[in-house]
Amino acid sequence: MSDTTARHPKSDAVRLVTEIGPLIVFFVANWQAGIFWATGLFMIATAIALPVAYMYERRVPVMPLVSGVFVLIFGALTLWLQDDLFIKIKPTIVNLLFAAILTVGLMLGRLFLKLAFGPVFALDDTGWRVLTIRWIGFFVLLAVLNEVMWRNFSTDTWVNFKVFGIMPLTFAFSLAQLPLLKRHSLEDWDEKG
């Protein structure tokens, strides 16, 4: 493994805290004080998490950055207009945005996942294309699930799903991609050499 791909355990812990921390703040604040307090504290936690991530990694990954910007915009609209619709539709819009960006890239022959994760995974172009298509489908699925949850269930149920449903689904989906990563890897894996 090269120095550019080696990762420090402290960096992984910081990444986990900066990605999950704001969600935990959102969940606890909603439970204790309601959606508007939760939204305000979520915005503050996100605004703190992004620079902390940058301090430790010297970069902010694109997805958390885009999501953070949308948290601030839609959170501000939620608080200003006192309408929780904005914070509820934020995940739908962000997931559809990611799906659209990947789709446009695919149509233009640009593999944006390769640009973002090329330093982490060395895959052939077929692997990047298949992985991109799968992530497009997953982002659309997350958008649909978010719409179903906020439209048909209570705010508390939606918050629980956002905090305790999305992360495990994303983790499970990511793990399910390991055979694809192994099959299309350009690096030495077990029997390749």
**pLDDT in the model for residue 193:** 44
Q: Cβ distance 66 to 94 under 8 Å?
A: yes
Cα dist from 78 to 6, 30, 166, 188, whole Å: 41, 14, 21, 49
Residue, of 63 and 175, whose pLDDT is higher: 175
Residue 160 backbone phi and psi in degrees, to 5: -60, -45
CB contact set of 9 (below 8 Å; sequence gap of 6+)? none
Half-sphere exposure of residue 83: CA atoms within 13 angstroms, side-chain side = 7
Residue 8 — very low, low, confident or very high, per pLDDT cuts 50/70/90?
low
Examine the pLDDT at 5 and tell me if it is beyond 50.
no
Model confidence, pTM: 0.81
Examine the pLDDT at 33 and tell me if it is beyond 90.
yes
Q: How crowded is residue 99: how many other Cβ atoms within 10 Å of its Cβ?
A: 19
**pLDDT in the model for residue 40:** 95
Residue 21 — very low, low, confident or very high, per pLDDT cuts 50/70/90?
confident
Examine the pLDDT at 4 and tell me if it is beyond 80.
no
Query: Range with the lowest mean pLDDT among 7-11, 33-37, 67-71, 158-162?
Result: 7-11
Among 113, 111, 115, 121, which residue's Cα sits nearest to residue 4?
121
List, for residues 94-106, the tens digit of each pLDDT value.
999 999 999 999 9
Site of tokens 């699925």? 141
17-37 mean pLDDT: 90
Residue 2 — very low, low, confident or very high, per pLDDT cuts 50/70/90?
very low
Examine the pLDDT at 6 and tell me if it is beyond 50.
no
List, for residues 179-193, the tens digit of each pLDDT value.
999 998 887 544 444
**pLDDT in the model for residue 145:** 97
Q: What is the DSSP letter of 49?
A: H
Examine the pLDDT at 84 and tell me if it is beyond 50.
yes
